[in-house]
Structure 1
């Protein structure tokens, strides 16, 4: 069996990595839409169209499960994708929320992500559907370029993390959801600054969520990574996250509907 994963760019490789570790014999196909990244500053209608195009490209590989690694696409397009496809569609939001609900002790949960994800209130709404949780959200736009420039351990990174997170940490949260696929690469640094807070890595939560569904994901262990445009940041992060898997560039015209 095989899994398709798409993201607006490079961050979804953290999801690819965790799913690859959890299902070593599954065939896994990843599409990073690097020509149109980021999705977070696009309209809802555009995000849905891009998501359908990426999904339909991956369906061409006869995948059995589609994983929407992009938090923005998970926020705005997940229901449309579920209605449009005849295979299970799994986003990163619900697995992260379920894990946070399981581990929080005081029901005060922080959510960090891009402007688009935070504006959508997708994590907040889902948490509030599940119980009386106090949810504190914060957009952290500089986290993405920090990761893509490989500055995770630079001295300025600690200052930026504290600048963004001090406010929600002061609310007494005991759990924080990393609501962007880039952010797991800052997990160790966040934990170093705030050791008492439980960090929910949505990429790990998503892999575990799929595992619990009980799919037979045996296969040949084939791995392919596609991008829609050249991306030095993608190449750099790919090397550090998933190693030497070859990048395959596809023409954007092959997935566009317009």
Structure 2
């Protein structure tokens, strides 16, 4: 019996579902195994050592399903653990920072790029390093927005209170002269409409999800591993915390894509 190899995608919580949505849209034949560490989210305030340990635990868990690729769909975990995990496993491992940086360099007209993210991501300097590697003369304005991830994890991204939280979180960077803003946390696309209202029409928002999905497609094509079966894949979603909340947010976010796709929901405690 043929068993389709999956793309394993992991995040600190529900944020990586933004990457899942793009993979489902661009690569509808690919099977996805997703793990959201909702019980230990957010990762942003944690130490690099903790984040690396948590990421390693999740990867070790996902390896039992024999994935053909691992996607660290969490900016904080990408900054803390991408190189470590890449050296540890035999399958391709990609993160979300370099795809986002490439998209921003392509989009900016002024060379003045903003980045918002968790405390861990911003303090790591990973985006600044990635942007400078691509374009040494780019100006980077970074700001941590620790209040945004809890807003999404609690399913409040469409609440009436979200605008005020986003407005307060973006106050500093809103005053800058950037012409594009990297949403340096995969949770932030849940708030994209509100963020755009706060930043105004003159600032282009960059989500790494679209670029990450393209990178997945390119790597699998080059390795001859793109799925070509006619049957719809059966996706698997795991979380470490409140399964009902996770499933509710995932179902709302993935919408039509998840309605027409067989899905298995499971909870795993670490």
Give the TM-score, by structure 1 length.
Answer: 0.90
**Would you say 1:46 and 2:56 are equivalent positions?**
no
- Residues 194-223 of structure 1 show CA distances to partners (whole Å, capped at 9, x for unaligned) of 112111111122112222335232155220
In the alignment, what sits opposite 2:241?
A: 229
Structure 2 counterparts to residues 151-230 of structure 1, below 5 A: 151-193=156-198, 194-215=200-221, 216-218=225-227, 219=229, 220=231, 221-230=233-242
* 97, 100, 120: which one aligns with 1:96: 100
Seen in structure 2, the aligned counterparts of structure 1 residues 63 and 146 have a Cα distance that, compared at 3 Å, is same
Deviation at 1:98, TM superposition (A): 0.5
Task: Find the residue that maps to 1:96 and give its secondary structure.
Answer: helix
Q: Is the 8 A contact 1:175 1:197 kept in 2?
A: yes
Task: Find the residue that maps to 1:110 and give its secondary structure.
Answer: strand
Structure 2 counterparts to residues 18-33 of structure 1, below 5 A: 18-33=22-37
Deviation at 1:161, TM superposition (A): 2.5
Q: Is the 8 A contact 1:226 1:249 kept in 2?
A: yes
Seen in structure 2, the aligned counterparts of structure 1 residues 166 and 43 have a Cα distance that, compared at 3 Å, is closer
In the alignment, what sits opposite 1:109?
A: 113
- Residues 49-101 of structure 1 show CA distances to partners (whole Å, capped at 9, x for unaligned) of 21112112212211111100111110010000111111110001010001001
Deviation at 1:232, TM superposition (A): 4.4
In the alignment, what sits opposite 2:151?
A: 146
**Would you say 1:249 and 2:267 are equivalent positions?**
yes
- Residues 128-148 of structure 1 show CA distances to partners (whole Å, capped at 9, x for unaligned) of 222211111111122123223
Task: Find the residue that maps to 1:77 and give its secondary structure.
Answer: helix
Alpha-carbon distance between aligned partners in 1 of 2:27 and 2:217, rounded to the nearest angstrom:
8
Seen in structure 2, the aligned counterparts of structure 1 residues 163 and 97 have a Cα distance that, compared at 3 Å, is same
Seen in structure 2, the aligned counterparts of structure 1 residues 71 and 165 have a Cα distance that, compared at 3 Å, is same
**Would you say 1:56 and 2:74 are equivalent positions?**
no
Alpha-carbon distance between aligned partners in 1 of 2:57 and 2:146, rounded to the nearest angstrom:
26
In the alignment, what sits opposite 1:72?
A: 76
Q: Is the 8 A contact 2:45 2:118 kept in 1?
A: no
The count of residues paired between Structure 1 and Structure 2 equals 252
Task: Find the residue that maps to 1:50 and give its secondary structure.
Answer: helix
In the alignment, what sits opposite 1:239?
A: 251
Q: Is the 8 A contact 1:10 1:233 kept in 2?
A: no
Give the TM-score, by structure 2 length.
Answer: 0.86
